[in-house]
């Protein structure tokens, strides 16, 4: 009887150790989430700066192309960061599948709404188009913040509020103000999240 009790106790201890290692891998996988924010903050910063430069030189036809190229680099960077995190920790995000569905849904419904707008006679300005897509992305930040941490949701809400304020009160300097906002909110927020979620603390 005593041997069975000791065996059961040993099994429970082993399971506890395995669970502790699993949780440690999960924490390690999550702690560099800020890298995604830093990457996309730099992408957005470059995009808004390039937009302003191209507008100044009257090269409007290159604006969409420059954004597509930058977004392509951002997607490649996201893939590389994810692979490095998985390789380093040998763990996936437990919520990764659902987060992927959130972004996929946002992109899909964003395209649907964009198609509906294009079907009508209403023509959106450059600032309105920027606000539309940016705030769809920020909705994703808020939803993901529900899974991973309130800091990400706060960044999403803050960027939405300040982007609208910039459009209303700083329309002449919208691209510059948005570039600085992305640099501060995403890059600064990413560095803060990496530091706060660092398990060394």
pLDDT tens-digit series, residues 85-137? 666 655 555 555 666 677 777 778 878 887 877 777 777 788 888 888 888 88
pLDDT tens per residue, range 17-37: 444 444 444 444 455 677 888
The answer to whether position 26 is within a domain reads yes
| pLDDT: which is higher, 3 or 35 | 35
Q: What does the buried/exposed string (b/e) look like for 116-125 if buried means 16 or more CB atoms within 10 Å of the residue's CB?
A: eeeeeeeeee
Domain count, the chain: 1
Residue 85, in any domain of the structure: yes
Find the Cα–Cα–Cα–Cα dihedral 72, 78, 79, 80, rounded to 10°: 110
Check: pTM over 0.75? Answer yes or no: no
Give the mean model confidence (pLDDT) for residues 135-160.
83
Write down the pLDDT at residue 88.
61
Question: Residue 201: inside a domain, yes or no?
Answer: no
Residue 169 domain-assigned (yes or no): yes
Instruction: Report if residue 89 sits inside a domain.
Output: yes
Tokens of 93: 């995000």
The DSSP line for 30-98 is: HTTTHHHHHHHHHHHHHHHHHHHHHHHTT-GGGHHHHHHHHHHHHHHHHHHHHHHHHHHH----TTHHH
> CA nearest 55: which of 174, 190, 181?
174
Q: Which domain holds residue 146?
A: 2-196
State the pLDDT at residue 46.
Answer: 94
Residue 99 within a domain: yes
Most distant CA pair in the chain, distance: 86
In a domain, 29, yes or no: yes
Q: With respect to residue 149, please indicate whether it lies within any of the assigned structural domains.
A: yes
The predicted-structure confidence for 32-58, as pLDDT tens digits, reads as follows 677 888 898 999 999 999 999 998 888
């Amino acid at each position: 009887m005593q041997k069975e009790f000791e065996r059961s106790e040993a099994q429970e201890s082993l399971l506890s150790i395995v669970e502790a290692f699993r949780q440690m891998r999960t924490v390690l996988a999550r702690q560099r989430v800020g890298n995604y924010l830093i990457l996309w903050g730099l992408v957005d910063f470059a995009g808004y700066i390039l937009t302003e430069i191209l507008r100044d030189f009257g090269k409007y036809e290159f604006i969409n192309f420059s954004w597509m190229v930058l977004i392509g680099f951002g997607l490649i960077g996201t893939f590389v960061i994810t692979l490095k995190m998985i390789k380093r920790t040998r763990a996936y995000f437990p919520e990764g599948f659902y987060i992927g569905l959130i972004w996929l849904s946002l992109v899909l419904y964003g395209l649907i709404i964009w198609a509906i707008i294009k079907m009508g006679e209403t023509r959106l300005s450059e600032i309105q188009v920027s606000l539309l897509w940016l705030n769809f992305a920020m909705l994703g930040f808020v939803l993901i913040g529900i899974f991973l941490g309130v800091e990400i949701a706060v960044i999403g809400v803050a960027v939405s509020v300040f982007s609208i304020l910039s459009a209303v009160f700083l329309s002449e300097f919208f691209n510059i103000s948005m570039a600085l906002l992305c640099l501060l909110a995403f890059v600064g927020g990413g560095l803060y999240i990496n530091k706060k979620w660092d398990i060394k603390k």
